Amino acid sequence: MAEDNKDFDWETLCFQMITAAGSAKSDYIEALQAAKAGNYDKADELIKSGDQSFATGHELHTNLVQREAAGEKIEVSLLMTHVEDQMMAAETVKLLVDELIALYKKFN
């Protein structure tokens, strides 16, 4: 491992993942509002932006999972549980927003 577990800044990593998930959710909701207003180009832009934020958080999360798979002890804390919750929520919001935007397009 490049970093010793005791030197690894878990809190910063958690907040980076939470921030990425929160940014993604915000973009997805703004995309839905843009679609509701009939601005599908803006909605597409916001979905792409949200996807980029989500990918950032997902990459950080995947790296953490890989560290654990390599045998490193990963501390599971309330903060880490919050990370998992925010990542899943962002993914769920994306799925629902995609469906709602498709409905707006269908009926407009």
71: left (phi over 0), alpha (psi -120 to 50) or beta: left
24 near 57, Cβ under 8 Å? yes
- Tokens 């973009």, located at residue: 27
Residue 101 and residue 31 in contact, taking contact as beta carbons nearer than 8 Å: yes
DSSP 6: G
- Pick the catalytic residue: 16, 45, 67, 82? 82
Active site residue 82: yes
| Residues identified as active-site | 82
